[in-house]
């Protein structure tokens, strides 16, 4: 009996094609694979005409095959390029969404500023005075600075507002005394008295609080969108590992080499391959979700009424001017004491004083275009991309894996058509230690992606600072996690470092450098003598031995 079994096995080994998947009595033709291989742009000159023994293969199962080692290598490279192409496409789609939101928000913001400026002009026009004409440059400078600030210009918003009120005071004093030649020294003295005489009442403080918090939030939100898109771009360009290339080849093109091109990968098998290939990308998930949550928080708590604040800016300016003109005699007397005597009030000043505050309604072209709707659209899109990095494996498998009734028993499991038995791994690098499909050293994370995780932390921290009213410059963000301003601290106090100057909207600016008279202790130079003494002592002991 045993001799019959041995003879049967020997016969099967000599006629292996007859014992293959299709149970044919002769070697299968490789014509289909030749056509497929040529369609991918490769030469078919060295493609076998019929199946050959597969002991030479390095990636695919070593049964009878239509693939040579060269073909296996070409198809492995192709599968890797195709996978990287899919990842770049997914990244471009996410980038397009983020940049589209940035463009929509930025455009609406500039439109608000233009409408606010036009409203200010109409308000002055209704008084029929020369006040706006005489001070138009002051107003234009203010709106230009507000626009530049939101687009990332390195300026201090509180200083801009303080300078605006000081210049406006100078202009108004000059205008009401234009019959007298007031020198620069006198006007400089006038601007220095603004805190003492408070000519505009409470308007400057109210305007500063509203404008600073709103514009700070707008700038941080816009730059958050740009930073997010930049992270996506850089992560999408990270090349796949050699282990991933082999796993993709085994899943994608090994069925062709085995003569079963119609076999689709098992769903769980595909998940393990993708989770292994995208393990580093999945580690972005925590900080990415945190950033999205923070951006949504900024939008819903700081930007929802931004249009009302910007469009009401002319009202605050007019109210401030009206307040000054109502007490112009008192102001004039105080300025005379502090800076010298000035002449009587001019006709234009009397005209402004008696005109009072005029409210002009804003004209909106399309009622549907308001900040509330824009914020709603933006936050909906942001929430939709919250799980992007951990959703990628499922998205990429949805078009290629076998689904449906009975599919799990007839799918490609990496070896043949059969059920895939291993369990599905979790997300992220740490969960891939037992991944049966992709060999990963979990102690060696991808450094490019680690740097982008740090960028997400930095951006989230700065958005939170903006939400709390701290103005932090975004321009010092660096790809080097150890560089200036790239710490991962999430407490607002972290902004009190020399590299990040934080300005509270409710107080003055502080530059927290250490006092010059304090010595720095524990430097490397101070440790040098002790090290030398230690080495000399060790050398003497060795000589004595």
In degrees to the nearest 10, what's the CA dihedral of 421, 426, 431, 433?
Answer: 10
The per-residue pLDDT for 9 is 39
- Lowest-pLDDT range of 95-99, 397-401, 457-461: 397-401
Looking at the structure of the chain, the number of domains it has is 1
Does residue 525 belong to any structural domain of this protein? no
Does residue 52 belong to any structural domain of this protein? no
Does residue 217 belong to any structural domain of this protein? yes
Please determine, for residue 18, whether its predicted confidence score (pLDDT) is greater than 60.
no
Does residue 394 belong to any structural domain of this protein? yes
The per-residue pLDDT for 480 is 41
Read off the pLDDT of residues 184-197 as tens digits, 9 standing for 90 and up.
777 778 778 788 88
44 or 8: which leads in pLDDT: 44
Question: CA 465 to CA 153: how far, in whole Å?
Answer: 18
Determine the length of the chain. 545
Q: Which of 6-20, 290-304, 341-355 has the highest mean pLDDT?
A: 290-304
Q: Which of 60-64, 161-165, 321-325, 425-429 has the highest mean pLDDT?
A: 425-429
268 or 125: which leads in pLDDT: 268
**How many CB atoms neighbour CB 124 within 10 A?**
25
Q: Which of 90-99, 337-346, 516-525 has the highest mean pLDDT?
A: 90-99
536 or 77: which leads in pLDDT: 77
Does residue 354 belong to any structural domain of this protein? no
The per-residue pLDDT for 176 is 66
- Lowest-pLDDT range of 62-66, 244-248, 280-284: 62-66
Does residue 27 belong to any structural domain of this protein? no
Whole-angstrom CA distances from 397 to 229, 273, 334, 430, 433 are: 24, 9, 77, 21, 21
pLDDT band at 325 (very low <50, low <70, confident <90, very high): confident
The per-residue pLDDT for 360 is 44
505 or 508: which leads in pLDDT: 505
Does residue 486 belong to any structural domain of this protein? no
Please determine, for residue 371, whether its predicted confidence score (pLDDT) is greater than 80.
yes
Whole-angstrom CA distances from 217 to 286, 290, 315 are: 23, 17, 22
> Mean pLDDT in the chain?
79
Whole-angstrom CA distances from 181 to 185, 250, 309, 331, 344 are: 11, 88, 38, 19, 13
Percentage of residues of the chain with pLDDT beyond 70: 73
Question: CA 238 to CA 230: how far, in whole Å?
Answer: 13
Does residue 238 belong to any structural domain of this protein? yes
State both tokens at 16.
């292996």
Read off the pLDDT of residues 253-280 as tens digits, 9 standing for 90 and up.
999 999 999 999 999 999 999 999 999 9
pLDDT band at 340 (very low <50, low <70, confident <90, very high): confident
Query: Helix crossing, 313-326 with 69-127: angle to 10°?
Result: 30
Domain of residue 270: give its range.
77-342+368-431
CA 293 to chain CA centroid, Å, is 12
CA 111 to chain CA centroid, Å, is 24
> What is the phi-psi region of residue 55: left when phi exceeds 0, alpha when psi lies from -120 to 50, beta otherwise?
alpha
- Lowest-pLDDT range of 45-59, 165-179, 245-259: 165-179
Question: CA 422 to CA 432: how far, in whole Å?
Answer: 13
Question: CA 17 to CA 25: how far, in whole Å?
Answer: 7
Read off the pLDDT of residues 528-540 as tens digits, 9 standing for 90 and up.
444 444 555 554 5
SS3 state at 94: helix
State both tokens at 277.
């290939």
Residue 114 CB contacts under 8 Å (≥ 6 apart), including other chains: none
Q: Which residue has the tokens 């045993």?
A: 2
Nearest to 321 by CA among 203, 474, 419: 203
**φ, ψ of residue 50 in degrees (nearest 5):** -140, 170
Mean pLDDT of 345-354: 47
State both tokens at 337.
């004491």
**φ, ψ of residue 503 in degrees (nearest 5):** -115, 115
Question: CA 61 to CA 414: how far, in whole Å?
Answer: 8
Nearest to 40 by CA among 82, 5, 12: 82
């Amino acid at each position: 009996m045993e001799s019959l079994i041995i003879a049967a096995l020997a016969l099967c080994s000599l006629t292996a094609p007859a014992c293959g998947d299709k149970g044919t009595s002769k070697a299968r033709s490789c014509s289909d694979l030749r056509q497929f291989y040529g369609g991918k742009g490769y030469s078919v000159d060295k493609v076998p005409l019929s199946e050959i023994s597969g002991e030479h293969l390095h990636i695919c199962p070593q049964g009878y095959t239509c693939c040579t080692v060269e073909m296996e290598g070409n198809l492995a490279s192709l599968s890797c390029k195709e996978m990287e192409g899919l990842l770049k496409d997914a990244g471009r789609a996410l980038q397009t969404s983020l940049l589209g939101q940035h463009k929509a928000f930025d455009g609406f913001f500039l439109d608000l500023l233009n409408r606010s400026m036009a409203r200010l002009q109409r308000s002055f026009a209704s008084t029929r005075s020369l006040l706006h004409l005489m001070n138009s440059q002051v107003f234009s400078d203010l709106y230009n600075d507000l626009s530049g600030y939101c687009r990332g210009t390195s300026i201090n918003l509180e200083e801009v507002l303080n300078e605006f009120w000081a210049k406006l005071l100078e202009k108004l004093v000059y205008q009401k005394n234009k019959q007298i030649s007031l020198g620069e020294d006198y006007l400089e003295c006038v601007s220095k008295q603004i805190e003492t005489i408070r000519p505009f009442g409470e308007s400057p403080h109210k305007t500063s609080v509203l404008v600073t918090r709103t514009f700070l939030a707008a700038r941080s939100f816009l730059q958050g969108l740009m930073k997010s898109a930049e992270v996506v771009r850089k992560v999408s360009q990270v090349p796949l590992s050699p282990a991933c290339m082999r796993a993709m080849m085994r899943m994608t093109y090994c069925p062709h080499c085995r003569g079963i091109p119609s076999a689709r990968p098992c769903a769980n098998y595909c998940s393990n391959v993708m989770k292994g290939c995208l393990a580093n990308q999945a580690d972005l998930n925590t900080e990415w979700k945190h950033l999205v949550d923070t951006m949504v928080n900024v939008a819903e708590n700081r930007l929802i009424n931004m249009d009302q604040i910007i469009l009401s800016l002319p009202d605050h300016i007019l109210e401030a001017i009206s307040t000054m003109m109502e007490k112009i005699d008192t102001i004039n007397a105080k300025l005379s004491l502090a800076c010298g005597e000035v002449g009587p009030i001019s006709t234009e000043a009397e005209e402004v004083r008696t005109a009072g505050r005029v409210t002009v309604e804003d004209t909106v072209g399309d009622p549907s275009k308001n900040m509330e709707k824009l914020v709603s659209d933006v936050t909906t899109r942001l929430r939709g991309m919250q799980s992007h990095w951990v959703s990628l494996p499922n998205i990429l498998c949805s078009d290629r894996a076998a689904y449906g009734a009975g599919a799990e028993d007839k799918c490609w499991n990496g070896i043949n058509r059969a059920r895939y038995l291993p369990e599905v791994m979790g997300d992220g690098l740490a969960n891939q230690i037992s991944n049966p499909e992709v060999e990963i050293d979990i102690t060696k994370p991808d450094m490019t992606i680690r740097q982008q995780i740090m960028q997400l932390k930095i951006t989230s921290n700065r958005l939170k600072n903006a939400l709390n009213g701290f103005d932090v410059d975004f321009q010092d963000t660096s790809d080097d996690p150890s560089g200036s301003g790239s710490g991962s601290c999430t407490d607002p106090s972290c902004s009190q470092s020399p590299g990040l100057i934080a300005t509270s909207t409710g107080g003055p600016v502080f530059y927290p450098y250490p006092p010059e008279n304090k010595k720095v202790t524990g430097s490397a130079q101070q440790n040098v003598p002790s090290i030398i003494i230690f080495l000399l002592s060790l050398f003497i002991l060795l000589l004595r031995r």
